[in-house]
Amino acid sequence: MFESSFISGSRRLDVDERYVKELDELIDLCRLNLVSVDEEMIRRAFRLGFWAHKDDIRNSGEPYIAHPLAVARIYVEQIGFDDVGVAAALLHDVVEDTELSIEFIRDSFGDTLALIIDGLTKISGAFESRDITQAENVRKLMLSMASDIRVIFVKFADRLHNMRTLDSMPLHKRHRIANETIALFAPLAHRFGFFAIKSEYEDLSLKYLHPEEYEQITVGLQDGRKERELYINKVIDPLENKLRDHGFEFEIYGRSKNLYSIFQKMKRQGKPLDEVYDVFAIRIVLNSQESKGKEDCWRVYSVVTDLFKPLPERFRDFISVPKSNGYQSLHTTVVGPDGRKVEIQIRTREMHDIAEKGVAAHWKYKESVEDADTEMERFLTWVRDLLENPEPEKATDFVKDFSLNLYDKEIYVFSPRGDLMTLPRGATPVDFAFMVHTEVGYHCIGAKVNGKMVPLSYELGSGDQVEVITSKKQSPSADWIKFVVTQKARSRVRQAINERRRKAEETGREIWEKRAERKKLSLSKQELAHLAKRLKFPSIEQMFYEIGSGLFDVSEALKLAVLHSQGEHEEGSEDRLKLHFEQFVDSAQESGSPALLIDGEVQTDLVTSYASCCNPIPGDEVFGFLSRAGAVKIHRVGCKNAPNLILNQADRIIAVDWSRQKDIRFVSGLRVMGEDRVGMLNDVTTVISKNLKTNIRSLTISTDDGVFEGTIILLVSDLDHLRRLIERIKRIEGVHGVYRFEQQYEDDVQL
């Protein structure tokens, strides 16, 4: 009924003359900024939006249609993608706020526009939450973005107009919306290259979140405006004359940095506004032919540095190596008149448009639709990568990964073949390995940076050449989560860890079922849950995981199950079961180990053993894990199972240290990699057994394409002993890497 009344009455629609004029201005802007314009579609979208919202009033008191018109104008002026996006901006609220259906939009405008409106409708609820950083809200945004990139483009314009009119909202909503904007929309706009939108987001957020600082900076800049303009002219005038002498066509102007970046600089440097020197920059935009653009930028740089002394440490070449969002420009800081430092940016008109309008500007400048689609697909690939881990270990992990991939601190590294890759600052060889390929990341065992072996946690720097060493036997370690920074690496590592856990649970279940079958035990799911609870496991799955991982002896569960089975029909069976269990725990505490200090004292009344999952040795940082039977199993802090134990069963963790007892040997393992040359094996074994008097328990060697990989199981006295072995083996000619190797050994030493 609602939709049919529009169809029957649309010809008589009485539109305020003011908005008709604004619509005409919008279409003129479309002709100026867009590659093609379907004027009839835009007018139909306006008429439908006007009619659907005819009775709606904004908080500011103006008719609601003013908002979609303003959003459409922002979309055209600051994004300028296409006319379908303009129509979507005019209709972005109609399904959410009126009785119009998405089916009516589809019938009236086609599938593409309906898809965009549907995406905008689905994410609108996410931004009503008090916590936009909830994983599900961010995921909704990303999913909608992946369906059609124009969803986020229209949302950018919508959010900008809402920020411009935020004064009409209640105080608590202002704070919530401003926080959402600075936490999510500003960095996301940066990632897509919309610098002008990002800067306005930041400044308006500052206005509502830090009003005093906003006012202070605004007034300070206004007070110093005349003096600043005089100084800028002292720099610009000679530059302008020189550039004209060289025949350049250009635009040159001074501009203050945005208020938020000045605010951040004041905080970072701990200085007031008048002591922060680089609050403005001079920009030179060249009207050069595309084929000569880069060359002209460098020629202008030469003119600049002939006039003013440059500061080499403040030079940035984003033309040869663009930022990940496509930004290109030369940045240099020079010593201007009166010894003051001035930043100068040099770019072509095309570079400038892409810097301001980001990925959408590629549509305008690419020679073909196919090229533009390829550029857009690069950004959509980034979105899809973020969504590839559908069930993160924690909801907050997705948001953290998402945020890490938005910010602009970047480094540039090279593969051995000279291929350039962009990574976030703080990235490690593991991040690089996953960027090369997922399989390279999974099997990364070591890395060389600029020809030298480095730890996998090594922080890469711009210009580093990175070579990844892989092994088919390697798999991601839980420790990697502590130092990887890219979303792709973090999600793949988590997936691998979760898969290992799943397999351990399956193994534990199989072990239980086989042993239970021998005992002729058959427990229902409810009985298993009861057994797990009696053993103080939070779930059946956790019990099977610990059995499968070797953290818990299945015999303990079987003994308790047998006791339960024997006494389940007897009166007082619960008390008897409790007594049997306590006796069972006591019997497990018959002997102890003098090699460990527990709570600062040598213990003789606790059974202790060394976890086969990590094989700790004296000198390692360790902790104790109290088993269900009262025995203590010693783990390294860096053990692959440590995060799960510490996070989920903290009440069973006890402080453990090493005593001074001598003449005890511990099982440890080394993984050695290097060149497959004659005599290599002999050199390695000589160093271990003869030079350092160390017993080798077992040794396995495999070779492939001139590279050997060996696993050596040996007996060492402590961590220093192991470190001496590692350092000595590293000095053998042709050895590329030596790493401590963790594996479950059947013949672990038990004290």
Q: What would the 3-class secondary structure string for 394-417 be?
A: CHHHHHHHHHHCCCCCEEEEECCC
Would you call 746 a catalytic residue per the annotation? no
Return the structure tokens found at 615.
């094989």
Classified as helix, coil or strand, 702 is strand
Residue of 3, 77, 97, 553 marked active site: 97
User: Does 232 score more than 70 pLDDT?
Assistant: yes
Q: What Å distances lie between residue 510 and 462, 548, 670, CA to CA?
A: 50, 9, 31
Q: What is residue 136's predicted lDDT score, i.e. its pLDDT? A: 56
pLDDT > 50? residue 727: yes
Distance from C-alpha of 429 to C-alpha of 720, rounded to nearest angstrom: 27
Which comes out higher in pLDDT, residue 740 or 232? 232
Tokens representing residue 161 in the block: 């107009």
Q: How is 582-645 classified by DSSP, letter by letter?
A: HHHHHHTTS---TTEEETTEE-SSS-EEE-TTT---BTB-EEEEE-TTS-EEEEETT-TTHHHH
Residue 243 contacts residue 346 (beta carbons within 8 Å): no
d(CA 721, CA 702): 26
pLDDT value of residue 128: 54
Going by C-beta distance under 8 Å and a sequence separation of 6 or more, which residues neighbour residue 453? 446, 447, 730, 736, 737
Return the DSSP state at 257.
P
**Rounded Cα distance, 751 and 748, in Å:** 10
Mean pLDDT of the 229-243 span? 91
Mind listing the pLDDT tens digit for each residue in 445-479? 888 898 888 888 899 988 888 999 888 878 888 78
Does the structure show a pLDDT above 50 at 572?
Answer: no
Average pLDDT, the chain: 79
* Beta strands 735-740 and 666-675, pairing class: antiparallel
Answer yes or no: 200 catalytic.
no
Question: Distance (Å, rounded) from C-alpha 122 to C-alpha 355?
Answer: 30
The first and second tokens of residue 553, run together, are: 């002896």
How many Å apart are CA 332 and CA 344, to the nearest integer? 5
Residues in the chain: 751
746: left (phi over 0), alpha (psi -120 to 50) or beta: alpha
pLDDT digits (tens, 9 = 90+) for 65-110: 999 999 999 999 999 888 999 999 999 999 888 888 899 999 999 9
Give the pLDDT score at 604.
Answer: 52
Are 192 and 123 within 8 A, CB to CB? no
pLDDT score of 277: 67
pLDDT attached to residue 746: 33
pLDDT band of residue 574 (cuts 50, 70, 90) is very low
| pLDDT value for 598 | 62
pLDDT category, 592, cuts 50, 70, 90?
A: very low
SS3 (DSSP) at 1: coil
Question: What integer is the mean pLDDT of 255-277?
Answer: 81
Match 């690419």 to its residue by tokens: 366
Residues 188-211 have a mean pLDDT of 89
Q: Is the pLDDT score of 643 beyond 80?
A: no
- Ordered by where they begin, the domains of the chain are 2-217 (1.10.3210.10), 223-365 (3.30.460.10), 380-481 (3.10.20.30), 495-570 (no CATH), 596-658 (no CATH), 666-740 (3.30.70.260)
Question: In 10-29, which positions are buried (b, 16+ CB within 10 angstroms) versus exposed (e)?
Answer: eeeeeeeeebeebbeebbeb
**pLDDT at position 297 over 80:** yes
Q: Which helix (H) or strand (E) holds 447?
A: strand 444-449
For 419-453, write each residue's pLDDT tens digit.
778 788 889 999 999 988 889 999 888 888 988 88
Give the residue with greater pLDDT, 10 vs 618. Answer: 618
* Residue 596 reports pLDDT greater than 70: no
Task: Give the tens place of pLDDT for each residue, 665-692.
Answer: 777 888 888 888 788 888 888 888 776 7
**Tens digits of per-residue pLDDT, 322-331?**
877 778 899 9
Query: Which candidate in 3, 38, 77, 96 is catalytic?
Result: 96
pLDDT of residue 379: 57
Q: Each residue of 382-428: pLDDT tens digit?
A: 565 655 554 444 444 555 555 545 545 678 888 888 777 878 888 99
Q: Whose CA is closest to 721, among 678, 671, 668, 675?
A: 668
Average pLDDT over residues 218-223: 86
Structure tokens at 365: 């400048």
- Return d(Cα 751, Cα 610) in angstroms, integer: 8
- With cut-offs at 50, 70 and 90, classify the pLDDT of residue 371: very low
Q: How far apart are CA 522 and CA 750, in angstroms?
A: 33
pLDDT at 678: 80
Higher pLDDT, 437 or 591: 437
Whether this model's pTM surpasses 0.75: no
